């Protein structure tokens, strides 16, 4: 159904625009302006089609009076003054400066900012002269219209998925938005947004505040359906208190404020009207929502599109009896208009007592004593809420789902999280660690680099849900986990799409620090390489690893972390530096070598050498500095003397200096490369010299009509032909005639009548002649005379006296005269040489003119000192041709007399070989081995990434090489498909072939190679920490995280191997189907998870702890069975001898510590969509269940979860088609949903002393830095911001 545009939140209403005037508002100046929040970083918006900024500082071109006004405005703004002025009185420069000043203000939590479409804002920048665009040359300010966000909505009125700053949108403070509205009219689809506080003293704009559906409860009869007009929406901030939410919901359906009401939350779905029948509350899982004063929308885990039903009292009574729908709600769920006098203490006391009694009435289960890491407030015998599935069946039927096949609901662009969680959840060794309860003993809540154990607890609880053995739930929305995740990682908050690999990196790092066995990290100095052979190298690696382990020791280190070797070699003194660093995942570049192909227009400086068209093919990440190095090598010219520039519309459009990426250019862009006799000065490292010549752009144009003296800007010019570059030395720059001669010398290349640019003489006197040889001049068949009336006549074999002074040309027949002809000088009056200013980097700046600002030569001569050059930086020369001169030298409409189309094709042999190699590579394809080879390939550091050589005592462009030294048991491979560097934003969709079984890394791991050689030489490799060198390093695939679509959007899914059912499954958010491993090998594969084959259990120290936990649990079961056999829970015959342990190992023989999984009837999700989630119990319900006795706590949660209950018959659901879709969450049963919603988050029920999982210590999350020094991954900084 078509959805209306999102309504603005009541807290986000646009302020009314008052008539603009400069006035003081002293009340504002008295308010304190908080500056505690960090100013947001304006990241450069990379794009391959970014317009060129032709004026970096618009204020610099404003006269002194305007600058004075702006300084006053800025000062008044700092003092809290209203500095708006009448729109009609502002010039374009003042408007630009005003918006620029306002946009520089920092974001402060609680402020309102506006989202404006980049499309509209870009048009405004082009109209104001800030940017230049080829397709919008004629766009003027009067043409842009009011602020318009229509491009951000789809055809159904829904906000598009991508809201990337500088790419899709721009962010404006409220004041700047108000100015634009005052200047250009009432906006279309305004999008106000709140600035919200994040962790670590950061603020951010809430791009996607939740939009909620509002209905009204009506008594419509027992069989009535939803009816009435379309229901309204409300948009609120996730930081809004529940009281603000209640007010917004009620205001959306009524204007009355004195009628008692209460709010029901029902299951998500589509509703055709706004009137909800009371008879359907129970069947829609309704629960009363509590208006808790200390809770926010985010705290209550309210998601976008959640529906709410407002119930008003009728005749003093409620429409429905709440006890017949759900359990009696807390008093705070009913809103009654407050009396004039009330006793707030009694209300809160009753509420507190009610909550306390609710927890005291439950009986905790006994578990082993918590770890010494637990909070001091925890009881020695704490409780655990084992996950069991329960419900009420329809017709007595029930479907038990296989463990590990639970889908994860999409809560709005959370597919990146769901796919990553499925991959990690199917890491058997990690799952065993959490399900066995070992992690509880290793929580490190006092680690300042961790998250106080909250991430580990949230992940552990989620794993219990996923691997519940008698669950009927087919999907579950991990709200609790996301709540904890965004609490410590604000970059993942909200509902924007993110990179799945970044989440995996953060989660593994967070789990490592939360479970770090090192309580106090000592200072460890990194060892240096002193030279030597294999023995010294192995000792250095061992010392580095032992030093790392002194600070880092956890299950993540045991399973996921390896070590790589980094080698740097100085190119001058050949000093070798070797370091060893840990890695948690391998980021492998794809050796696709995406090429940038283009045809370059090459213009040599020597006029006798023809200009060429040069096809080039270069790496897409290359800069124009690399391109000039290539052209310089091909042409035999120093690259520093080449100037690259883009030509558009007969003028220079963009200066392509050394920092510009080749991939910034479009396929149809015209790129010129001019050879110069001096340094082109396109490198940022170039230091200007006093005697540097002037490098000026020259533009050919028709005669410009005179403009009024009062005008500050030039009239528009009619350019033609190609612009070119002229180099004017200091002497030539002292006179206009000298500059005219320099231009004539460059102009001769572009006309077939180049001979007629000069004055010739047959026998010049030695004192007056100036010899300028022109090798390209061919013998003439005829000469032309331009008469005074403009007519052109050709005369054969005659000497013509032209109408230009001193002009003498000779016929071919007069060989004697022709052989002795010399050029006396340039022919005067061919064109008018005009001076233009405002050119920066050879392109015009300023407002309203494509050719800058005209300046009279007389004015410039008066301004400069006598003898000083007449030119300045930023000047340009325009050659004005009248109609007759233009026709003679270049031709008429066809330009038949020009050489602009006479380009010689130049194809270098190197280009042909590159074409052949690309064809071979394309037919061969890419394998994972190719990616590993690319990762270990030696490369040279760039000029911006120099290495300081301790021997040379200076920075050097060293060569760098990475090698794998030690590989982990679980190898996570990140295929670097996303590029996000400067202006390059791209995804590589190339298919990479990777093995499902038998990935052999033995030959690539340095530790094995060095250990084998040392063992053969008789060294004791065990002392070096090297073991099992004879065992090959072979890996098998068990999970794949895939990404479909483009950069910044798309959809994530996962394939994973279930070690219980020994089947592969495909996880598409909540939709899970049985699959095959071969389906995971596709061009969408993004993250690969491999497990090492081994005869011994994986995990080292972690595995020992898991086995010890299994033995201890088995002993306790035996002890309790002996003491009180009747108290033991019934055990299936097949499991009579099993110990309480999660699942059997698939790589080693089962032992007494492992259970054999129960043999349930397997569902067939491939034949029909799986049913929706029917929900799991809350902590309180699980603890109060009759079947779970206190004695049962000696069994593991999975044993308790094996009991079966009645469940409702699940319904079918199709696979989601978009990651933006917010899926209905059916993880609560109607009779228990109220308690689950009220106590589901980890802070409230995990933190209770009634459960076994210790809660994180109470602290300010802003003081916590979740990032450790653990992961020094090569190329990690280049990964995408989707």
**Which are the catalytic amino acids?**
415, 1051
Q: Phi and psi for 567 in degrees, rounded to 5?
A: -120, 125
How far apart CA 1046 and CA 420 sit, in angstroms, is: 18
Look at the block and give the residue holding tokens 């849900």: 465
Residue 464 per-residue DSSP state:
H
Look at the block and give the residue holding tokens 């189309």: 901
The CA-CA-CA angle for residues 571, 576, 577, to 5°, reads 120
Contacts of 875 (CB under 8 A, 6+ apart): 694, 696, 835, 836, 837, 839
How far apart CA 77 and CA 33 sit, in angstroms, is: 11
Would you tell me how many other CB atoms lie within 10 Å of the CB of residue 100?
15
Find how far residue 226's CA is from the centre of its chain: 42
* Listed residue (343, 251, 260, 241) closest to 300, CA to CA: 241
Q: Phi and psi for 1057 in degrees, rounded to 5?
A: -95, 125
Quick one: which H or E segment has residue 555?
A: helix 555-560
* Listed residue (1239, 963, 960, 1253) closest to 359, CA to CA: 1239
* Residue 399 · residue 529 · CB < 8 Å: no
Quick one: which H or E segment has residue 697?
A: strand 694-702
How far apart CA 123 and CA 121 sit, in angstroms, is: 5
Residue environment code for 845-883, b if the CB has 16+ CB neighbours within 10 A, otherwise e: bbbebbbbbbbeeeebeeeeeeeebbbeebbbbbbbbee
Q: Phi and psi for 1005 in degrees, rounded to 5?
A: -95, 115
* Listed residue (21, 97, 99) closest to 59, CA to CA: 97
How far apart CA 1280 and CA 497 sit, in angstroms, is: 11
Strands (E), 223-335: 233-235, 261-265, 275-277, 287-288, 307-312, 334-335
Residue environment code for 1228-1266, b if the CB has 16+ CB neighbours within 10 A, otherwise e: bbbebbbbbbbbbbbbebbbbebbbbbbbeeeebeebeb
CA distances from 234 to 115, 215, 243, 261, 1188 (A): 18, 11, 14, 17, 43
Contacts of 521 (CB under 8 A, 6+ apart): 550, 551
Residue 669 per-residue DSSP state:
-
HSE toward the beta carbon, residue 699, CA cutoff 13 A: 29
Beta bridge partner(s), residue 117: 169
How far apart CA 1282 and CA 502 sit, in angstroms, is: 10
Q: Where are the alpha helices (DSSP H) in 1131-1213?
A: 1179-1184, 1197-1200
Contacts of 381 (CB under 8 A, 6+ apart): 364, 366, 367, 369
* Listed residue (851, 847, 803) closest to 828, CA to CA: 803
How far apart CA 1044 and CA 1083 sit, in angstroms, is: 9
DSSP string computed for 162-199: ---BTTTEEEEEHHHHHHHHHHH-S-BS-EEEEEEE-S
Residue 314 per-residue DSSP state:
B
């Amino acid at each position: 159904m078509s959805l209306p545009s999102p309504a603005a939140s009541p807290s986000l209403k646009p302020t009314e625009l008052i008539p603009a005037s400069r006035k003081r508002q002293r009340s504002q100046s008295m308010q304190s302006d908080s500056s505690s929040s960090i100013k947001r970083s304006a990241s450069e918006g990379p794009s391959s089609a970014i317009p060129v900024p032709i004026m970096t500082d618009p204020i610099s071109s404003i006269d002194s009076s305007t600058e004075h006004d702006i300084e006053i405005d800025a000062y008044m703004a700092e003092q809290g003054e209203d500095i708006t002025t009448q729109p009609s009185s502002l010039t374009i420069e003042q408007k630009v400066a005003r918006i620029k000043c306002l946009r520089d203000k920092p974001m402060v939590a609680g402020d309102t900012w506006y989202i404006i479409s980049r499309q509209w804002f870009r048009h405004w920048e082009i109209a104001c002269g800030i940017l230049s665009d080829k397709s919008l040359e004629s766009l003027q300010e009067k043409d842009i219209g009011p602020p318009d966000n229509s491009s951000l909505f789809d055809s159904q009125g829904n906000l598009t998925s991508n809201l990337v700053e500088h790419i899709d949108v721009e962010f404006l403070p409220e004041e700047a938005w108000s100015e634009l509205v005052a200047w250009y009219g009432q906006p279309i689809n305004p999008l106000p947004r709140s600035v919200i506080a994040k962790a670590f003293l950061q603020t951010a704009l809430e791009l996607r505040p939740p939009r909620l559906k509002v209905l009204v409860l009506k008594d419509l009869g027992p069989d009535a359906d939803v009816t009435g007009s379309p229901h309204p929406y409300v948009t609120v901030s996730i930081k809004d208190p529940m009281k603000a939410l209640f007010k917004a919901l009620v205001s959306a359906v009524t204007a009355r404020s004195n009628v008692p009401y209460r709010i029901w939350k029902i299951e998500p779905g589509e509703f055709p009207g706004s009137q909800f029948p009371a008879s359907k509350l129970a069947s829609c899982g309704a629960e009363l929502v509590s208006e808790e004063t200390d809770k926010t929308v985010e705290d209550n885990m309210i998601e976008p599109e959640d529906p709410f039903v407002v119930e008003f009292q009728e005749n003093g009574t409620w429409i429905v009896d709440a006890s017949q729908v759900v359990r009696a709600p807390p008093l705070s769920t009913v809103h009654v208009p407050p009396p004039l006098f009330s006793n707030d203490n009694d209300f809160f006391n009753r509420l507190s007592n009610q909550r306390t009694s609710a927890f005291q009435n439950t009986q905790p289960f006994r578990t082993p004593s918590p770890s010494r890491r637990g909070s001091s407030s925890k009881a020695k015998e704490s409780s655990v809420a084992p996950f069991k599935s329960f419900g009420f069946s329809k017709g007595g039927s029930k479907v038990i789902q296989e463990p590990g096949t639970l889908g994860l609901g999409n809560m709005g662009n959370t597919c990146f999280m769901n796919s990553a969680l499925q991959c990690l959840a199917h890491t058997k060794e990690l799952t065993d660690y959490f399900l066995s309860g070992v992690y509880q003993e290793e929580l490190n809540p006092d680690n300042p680099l961790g998250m106080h154990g909250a991430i580990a607890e949230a992940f552990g609880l989620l794993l219990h849900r996923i691997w519940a053995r008698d669950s009927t739930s087919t999907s579950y929305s991990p709200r609790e986990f996301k709540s904890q995740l965004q609490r410590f990682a604000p970059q993942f908050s909200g509902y924007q799409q993110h990179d799945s690999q970044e989440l995996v990196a953060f989660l593994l790092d967070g789990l490592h620090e939360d479970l770090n066995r090192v309580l106090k990290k000592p200072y460890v100095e990194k060892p240096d390489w002193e030279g030597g052979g294999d023995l010294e190298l192995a000792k250095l690696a061992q010392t580095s690893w032992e030093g790392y382990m002194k600070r880092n020791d956890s299950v993540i280190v045991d399973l996921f972390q390896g070590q790589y070797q980094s080698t740097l070699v100085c190119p001058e003194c050949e000093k070798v530096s070797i370091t060893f660093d840990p890695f948690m995942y391998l980021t492998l570049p794809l050796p696709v070598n995406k090429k940038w192909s283009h045809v370059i227009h090459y213009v040599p400086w020597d006029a006798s050498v023809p200009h060429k068209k040069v096809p080039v093919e270069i790496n897409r990440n290359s800069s124009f500095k690399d391109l000039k190095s290539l052209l310089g090598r091909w042409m035999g010219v120093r690259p520093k003397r080449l100037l690259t520039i883009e030509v558009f519309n007969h003028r220079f459009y963009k200066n392509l200096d050394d920092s510009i990426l080749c991939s910034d250019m479009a396929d149809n862009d015209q790129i010129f490369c001019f050879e110069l006799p001096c340094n082109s000065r396109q490198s940022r490292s170039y230091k200007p010299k006093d005697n540097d010549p002037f490098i000026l752009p020259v533009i050919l144009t028709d005669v410009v009509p005179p403009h009024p003296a009062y005008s500050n800007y030039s009239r528009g010019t009619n350019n033609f032909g190609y612009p070119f570059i002229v180099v004017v030395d200091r002497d030539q720059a002292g006179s206009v005639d000298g500059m005219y001669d320099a231009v004539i010398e460059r102009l001769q290349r572009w006309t077939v009548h180049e001979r007629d640019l000069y004055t010739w003489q047959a026998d010049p006197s030695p004192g007056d002649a100036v010899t300028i040889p022109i090798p390209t001049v061919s013998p003439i068949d005829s000469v032309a005379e331009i008469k005074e009336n403009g007519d052109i006549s050709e005369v054969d074999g005659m000497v013509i006296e032209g109408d230009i002074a001193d002009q003498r040309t000779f016929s071919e027949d007069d060989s004697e005269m022709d052989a002795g002809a010399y050029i006396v000088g340039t022919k005067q009056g061919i064109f008018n040489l005009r001076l233009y200013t405002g050119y920066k980097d050879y392109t015009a700046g300023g407002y309203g003119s494509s050719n800058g600002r005209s300046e009279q030569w007389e004015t410039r001569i008066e301004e400069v000192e006598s003898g000083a050059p007449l030119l300045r930086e930023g000047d340009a020369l325009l050659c004005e041709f009248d109609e007759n001169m233009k026709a003679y030298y270049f031709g008429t409409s066809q330009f038949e007399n020009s050489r602009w189309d006479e380009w010689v094709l130049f194809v270098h042999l190197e280009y042909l070989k590159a074409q052949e190699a690309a064809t071979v590579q394309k037919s061969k394809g890419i394998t994972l081995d190719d990616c590993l080879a690319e990762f270990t390939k030696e490369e040279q550091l760039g000029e911006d990434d120099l290495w300081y050589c301790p021997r040379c005592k200076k920075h050097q462009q060293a060569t760098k090489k990475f090698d794998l030294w030690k590989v982990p048991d679980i190898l996570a491979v990140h295929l670097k498909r996303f590029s996000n560097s400067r202006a390059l934003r791209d995804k590589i969709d190339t298919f990479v072939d990777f093995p499902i079984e038998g990935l052999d890394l033995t030959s690539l791991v340095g530790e094995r190679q060095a250990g084998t050689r040392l063992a053969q030489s008789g060294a004791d490799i065990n002392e070096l920490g090297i073991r099992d060198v004879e065992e090959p390093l072979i890996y098998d695939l068990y999970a794949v995280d895939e990404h479909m679509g483009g950069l910044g959007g798309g959809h994530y899914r996962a394939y994973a191997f279930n070690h219980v059912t020994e089947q592969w499954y495909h996880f598409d958010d909540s939709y899970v189907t049985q699959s095959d491993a071969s389906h995971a090998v596709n061009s969408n594969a993004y993250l690969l998870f491999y497990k090492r084959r081994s005869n011994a259990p994986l995990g080292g120290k972690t595995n020992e702890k898991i086995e010890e936990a299994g033995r201890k649990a088995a002993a306790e079961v035996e002890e309790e069975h002996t003491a009180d056999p009747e108290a033991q829970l019934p055990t299936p015959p097949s499991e009579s001898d099993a110990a309480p342990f999660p699942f059997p190992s698939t790589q080693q023989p089962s032992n007494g510590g492992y259970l054999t999984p129960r043999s349930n009837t397997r569902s067939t999700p491939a034949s029909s969509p799986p049913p929706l989630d029917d929900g799991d119990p809350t902590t309180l319900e699980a603890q109060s269940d009759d079947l779970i006795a206190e004695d049962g706590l000696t069994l593991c949660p999975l044993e308790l979860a094996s009991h079966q209950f009645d469940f409702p018959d699940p319904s079918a659901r199709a696979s989601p088609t978009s990651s933006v879709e917010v899926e209905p969450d059916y993880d609560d049963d109607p009779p228990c949903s109220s308690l689950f919603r009220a106590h589901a988050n980890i802070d409230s029920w995990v933190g209770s002393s009634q459960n076994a999982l210790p809660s994180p210590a109470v602290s300010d999350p802003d003081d916590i830095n979740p990032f450790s020094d653990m992961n020094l991954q090569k190329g990690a900084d280049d990964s995408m911001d989707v």
